[in-house]
């Protein structure tokens, strides 16, 4: 059985952590073994890290920054093929971070010397290729799968039984880091554009939490806003909401949206490229007309006014294109093209 060594940055919550666990599980279903090492938390001594790399057939960086540096350099050292998993759109991420020219040059060297770059979306691949210019790269696109939270396999989606009544509370949800790229403060303006019956749950923490508390104090007092903090979102959370919301400045291919759809809950979002890629074919009405809070509020009302059967049919069509089996199979085939075993 071939072995993949996954080199990650740290442990904890978040979309990347979810996808790492998914990859390990579904590689096992495809007769691949895997092990995992963190290079920030409790990093093993270099000799142990090198030894583990020599035991693997392929080294995989869990994301395209610090783990990528270690993975490509280790691959060169022990003569093993290296894979870099590219989640977000690199140009947008570096622009937000105002990265130096030196870091740009270093990243280009790293990506050029990776044996394979697996991108979570066409959006991420396009951004990567623009960043690299005319450099030839071996890239594959493998979309993240639709799965129920805290599960490695998607379960059948049941149509939600509850109906929205005129005077009943309509609860919406958001799952994500409270940071500038996720733009959660837009949600406060969005909820104010909606009737008083609309309420919002926020799962997540981050540097913008004090601003959320301060700017949303009136909404918290009235019961329209609940800041639930850092916890693992579950299927129970998603199914308690009429819709999940995303308003990021950019995304790679967000697991929040895929988990929501797996729970039969529509995901309503601003029209960034990654979500156009995910939702545009079957459910373009889940995308706001522009990036404003008012447009997002209008999209919420539009989606919730549609026949539930129509929305659920469209969700099922999206899920059928994002199955865990497809995810595992595509990864196994991609790895087999560069594995030292040649399988």
| Among 50, 105, 102, CA closest to 76 | 50
What does pTM read for this prediction? 0.90
Q: How far apart (Å, rounded) are the C-alpha atoms in residues 242 and 245?
A: 10
pLDDT digits (tens, 9 = 90+) for 176-199: 999 999 999 999 999 999 999 999
Question: Per-residue pLDDT for 164 more than 60?
Answer: no
Q: Please give the helix or strand (H or E) that residue 189 lies within, else none.
A: helix 185-192
The tens digit of pLDDT for each residue in 285-310 reads 999 999 999 999 999 999 999 999 99
Q: Which of 197, 246, 200 is nearest to 220 (CA)?
A: 200
pLDDT digits (tens, 9 = 90+) for 74-97: 999 999 999 999 999 999 999 988
Please give the pLDDT value at position 12: 61
Residues with Cβ within 8 Å of residue 115, at least 6 apart in sequence: 75, 81, 82, 83, 138, 338
CA 171 to chain centre: 23
Residue recorded with tokens 């009405």? 285
Cα separation, 40 vs 24, whole angstroms: 20
Residue 338, CB-side half-sphere exposure with 13 Å CA sphere: 23
Domains defined for the chain, CATH in brackets: 3-144+323-336 (3.40.50.2000), 170-320 (3.40.50.2000)
């Amino acid at each position: 059985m071939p072995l993949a060594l996954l080199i990650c940055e740290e442990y904890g919550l978040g979309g990347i952590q979810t996808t790492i666990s998914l990859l390990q599980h579904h590689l096992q279903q495809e007769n691949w073994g895997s092990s995992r090492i963190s290079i920030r938390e409790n990093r093993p001594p270099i000799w142990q890290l090198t030894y583990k790399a020599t035991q693997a057939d392929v080294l995989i960086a869990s994301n395209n920054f610090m783990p990528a540096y270690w993975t490509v350099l280790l691959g060169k050292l022990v003569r093993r093929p290296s894979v870099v998993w590219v989640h977000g759109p690199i140009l947008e991420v570096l622009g937000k971070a105002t990265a130096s020219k030196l870091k740009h040059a270093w990243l280009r060297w790293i990506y050029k010397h990776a044996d394979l770059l697996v991108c979570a979306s066409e959006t991420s691949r396009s951004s990567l290729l623009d960043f690299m210019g005319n450099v030839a790269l071996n890239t594959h696109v493998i979309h993240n799968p639709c799965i129920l939270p805290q599960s490695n396999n998607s379960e059948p989606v049941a149509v939600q039984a509850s109906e929205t009544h005129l005077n009943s509370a309509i609860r919406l949800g958001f799952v994500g880091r409270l940071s500038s790229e996720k733009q959660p403060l837009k949600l406060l303006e969005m909820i104010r554009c909606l009737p008083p019956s609309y309420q919002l749950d926020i799962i997540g923490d981050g540097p913008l939490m004090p601003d959320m508390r301060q700017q949303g104090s009136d909404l918290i007092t009235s019961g329209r806003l609940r800041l639930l903090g850092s916890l693992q979102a579950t299927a129970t959370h998603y199914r308690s909401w009429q819709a999940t919301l995303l308003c990021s400045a950019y995304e790679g291919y967000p697991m929040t949206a895929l988990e929501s759809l797996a729970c039969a809950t529509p995901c309503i979002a601003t029209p960034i490229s990654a979500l156009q890629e995910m939702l545009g074919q079957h459910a373009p009405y889940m995308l706001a007309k522009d990036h404003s809070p008012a447009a997002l509020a209008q999209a919420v009302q539009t989606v919730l006014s549609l026949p539930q059967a129509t929305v659920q049919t469209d969700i099922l069509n999206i899920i059928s294109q994002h199955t865990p089996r497809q995810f595992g199979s595509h990864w196994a085939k991609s790895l087999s093209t560069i594995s030292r075993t040649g399988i």
